[in-house]
Amino acid sequence: MRPIGQLITDLPEGKRAIGCKWVSGVKIGENGYEERNALTKRVAELTERISSVEKELFPLQCGNKELTSKIEELNVETIKWRQRANTLVEKSNRNPEEFKHLQAERERLAKLLTTEKEVNKKQLDELTSLKSCLENEIPALNRNLQMSDVLTKNLQRQNVKCIYEMNCY
């Protein structure tokens, strides 16, 4: 018979029964619950950081590909302009009447070639800076992944220990 005013209820979460009473299940110390929770939280933070860095890395890689293709296009264009300038020089040697016209065309093409080279150089500099940024991020991501794997393995071992300890009580 139970005394008046007492109710039978379910144990609160994180508590365990000892006799007819319940006690807190928080264990502090070596391989305890709080350490496990702290490690779980750290793994979650590292995983979140890795995913955010990967999200930041993807647009940089896309930009890198675009700039590389633009540089290749500019190199091809430069070759075409140079060939055209050579063709015009050959024509000027054959036909003296068109020399002035061809000379003006050659100067215009030289200016275009100079601007194309400047654009090409700027894009190469930008590509180099993007590559160095990517090269700096990759080792950090690899370290974070390795740390995450180690922490996950530790958590799994601790979970097994905690389950074993709980079953022993």
Query: Is the pLDDT at 24 greater than 50, yes or no?
Result: no
pLDDT attached to residue 37: 76
* Structure token digits, residue 47: 């995983």
Residue 111 lies in a domain: yes
Among 18-27, 94-103, 110-119, the range scoring the smallest mean pLDDT is 18-27
Determine contact, residues 141/46, Cβ cutoff 8 Å: no
Residue 73 lies in a domain: yes
pLDDT attached to residue 120: 92
Domain count, the chain: 1
Residue 5 lies in a domain: no
Instruction: State the DSSP code for 15.
Output: E
Beta-carbon contacts of 70 under 8 Å, excluding residues fewer than 6 positions away, are 123
26-58 tens-digit pLDDT = 455 555 556 677 788 889 999 999 999 889 889
Q: What is the mean pLDDT of residues 79-101?
A: 78
pLDDT attached to residue 122: 94
Q: What is the mean pLDDT of the chain?
A: 81
Helix%, strand%, coil% for the chain, nearest 5? 80, 5, 15
Residue 70 lies in a domain: yes
Please name the residue that has the structure tokens 């430069």. Answer: 78
58-76 tens-digit pLDDT = 988 999 999 999 999 999 9
Residue 8 lies in a domain: no
Query: Containing domain of residue 146, as a range?
Result: 29-168
- pTM of the predicted model over 0.85: no
**What HEC string does 120-161 produce?**
HHHHHHHHHHHHHHHHHHHHHHHHHHHHHHHHHHHHHHHHHH
CATH number at residue 113: 1.10.287
